[in-house]
Structure 1
Amino acid sequence: MFYKFIKLNAQNFTFLAVLAFSFRFLFLFSIPNLSQDFYRFIWDGRMILEGFNPYLYTPESFIINGVSPVYQAQELYNGMGILNASHFTNYPPLNQLCFVIAGLFAGKSILGSTIVLRLIIIAADFGTLYFGKKLLEKLNIPVNAIFWYLLNPFIIIELTGNLHFESVMIFFLIWSLYLFQVGKWRYAAFALACSISIKLIPLIFLPLFFNWFFKTNIITHNWRSHFFELKSLFIFYSIILLISIVLFIPFYNLDFLINYAQTVALWFQDFEFNASIYYIARFIGYLLTGYNEISIIGKAIPLIIIFFVFYASFFRNNKSLKALITNMLIVLSFYYFMSTTVHPWYIATLLILSIFSNYKFPLVWSFTAILSYLAYANSNNAENLWIIGLEYTIVYGFLIWEVFTKKATKLVALNSKPEKS
């Protein structure tokens, strides 16, 4: 129905927009049932309002000592689950502000807090619609392409329904890209810093901007001619760094740095879910040693990703915005293909980037990702690796088809150029 809605109403932008947000408001008064994370969101927001630094305490540290630092502490603890409650929070400061807003307006009600959080996410989607449409117009892409993201049932269920704040992070990211396109890169740096302060994922994009600022060839031109480009790049990164520091200052503490770094590292060295290449590497590790080698593989993965980001930043064309977005899509896809943990809602960022590029495999992935939900069908959340294999066979198969189709198209275009007389 999603696909047919867009195809049959391609010229009716207003109808598709009303439809997209009508579906979102259907979830307004519901409690998420495919994610426990929102209980931790509410806990963190109420902790801050009570004067606690949420980065310094785990919920478990209070509950096991019979202490209730926030209203409905036991209900929130039971809801978030032992795994979430036993770790320090990893949500950046601007995300914490959203949690605080929920605590301010609904500090005595879990349902009330979810409504406030959901309204923030829906408001962010309005922003994505506004700036996404303007950016598509600037790039001469049909504006109805924005609905491959906004009307996608996967996005509506995972972000609006299950309260994942990728929606807000994406709003700031798209706003930033639009500001880049219209030449306001200083304001774009501000918006990108806000995106990072919702979710850390956009950090991976920062090196890609090197070639964006160096419009001339860095090898064939004298460094003196690059002075203003280098100055602009320095200012761009400085703005992002300064805003990030300012936002983290209220929570700064040596223990905070240690706790935060350890929590982020867990995603590479402890958690496993819906992975692809990592599961193959894990299988090989079992064959060779008889053990799960996640501690070793988890340390190697970041190094491989850093090397790939370096390659994409300095050896690929990022000088036009469309090329830059395409490389953002490629880099983030590579990161997820290598990761030990790929929750379905992570794909939302790939999906929004894909509508500004020629690649559509994230749209296919937004459909096949639903197969990973089968892990929730049993009490211990065990995955069926045959199902995960089916998911990624479809995704990789479509990606390979896209890559070779585009190569063939380019080859035909080159061969069809008229010879010089």
Structure 2
Amino acid sequence: MRVYPVLISKNIMRWIKQLELEILWPFYTSQIIQSVFKLTTIYWVVYFLSIGHSLAQISLLPIIMLLTSFVLELPTGFLADIRGRKWSVATAIFLEAFAITLIPFVGLQFKLLVVLYVLMGVGAALASGASEAWVVDLLHWHAKPEAIPSYYAALHSLINIGFIIAPLLASAIFFLTGALHYLWWAEGAMLFGAGLILLMFGKEKRMEHSQHKLTIASLYQKTMLQFRERPALLFVIVVMFLFAIIFGVTTLAWQPFLQTNGVPLVWFGVLFAFTGVFAIVYPLIHKLILTQIGDRRSLQLISIIQMIAFGLLIITPIVGVIILFFIIQNLDSIKIPIFQPWFQKHVLSVVRSISGSIIAMVGAIGESVGYVFAGQLVERFGFSAVWWFAVGLCALIVVVLMFARRINCNTPLCSSMVLK
């Protein structure tokens, strides 16, 4: 009878060893701080509505941030590969902390809000690609590439632990103060601390760069060659784009939708706190999922379940809405841990940041499209139109992933890239 506890204990200890805490503790620590104090996530739409901005105006803010990030993705990706990933990531966090702290001071002036969201877009561009490339190359330098999947699984587990604590903490602050602007100040201060940890304690070891002098032209050539020789990456890009649209739609629509259905603001913390529960245990089962089901089938299964859940939102009363909200959000929380290890495994180290930036650009476009559609659909046709739109996107993802398996490959390198 004691066999199962012993096996579970051994698996947990093996998993902890794979985390490589001696090398990666600054990254885990910084991430948990950023996640735990992501206080504005569940209230940002409601906050801007409360100070007089329309939903259409609010939808423009993340679009502006994403478009800024999109325009700067390639230049900042090249900069990170040449100048250094550590510098790029730390600067990104400090920019975001500065902008978030100032939002309550300028919130009534929409033009100044736009400026701050542009700054956050610059930060997002600096961090995307570089943050992942920094850690992946560090593990390769230490000859521990097998730890990369465990790192991504653990990282997103920490993110979701933070996403459980952050909404509860945000709701508590709102309950005690009766004001939402304190959330922005607290988040900005803690972001600054998270950036300091990476700047002071994060180590940077880079691969291949000592063998030749890097130039923008050589990086561009290697990046384009990589995508030409590995066509299965194109399917990842398409699926990432569609997932990003869904993320944009739900990010903008959830808060006013729940509020319209009678959910009090002080409950938001509890509701959002449990949207990442499954992702917390995901690191313990991620190898089983990927070996038994595979990337493609896992993503197809997630999309099918979400498609059904979005459809049921249209006809379900409030209790059912809350249950469906939990299902959709929990499934959302494990998409990236499935995507990223597969993507990083097949990306050249020397162009890892710029390759990540290309994926981030695609995500920025998709998320922007989602915000635009969500804002317009809600104001013109109501929330039902938003959920029907999401149903269609999920169905399209399932179809794209079916074709991903049928890609024609003429080389072993290409064949290794096909989603399983």
Greater gyration radius: 1
Q: Which has the higher contact order (CA 8 A, sep 6+)?
A: 2
TM-score by length of 1: 0.32
TM-score by length of 2: 0.32
Larger fraction in helix: 2
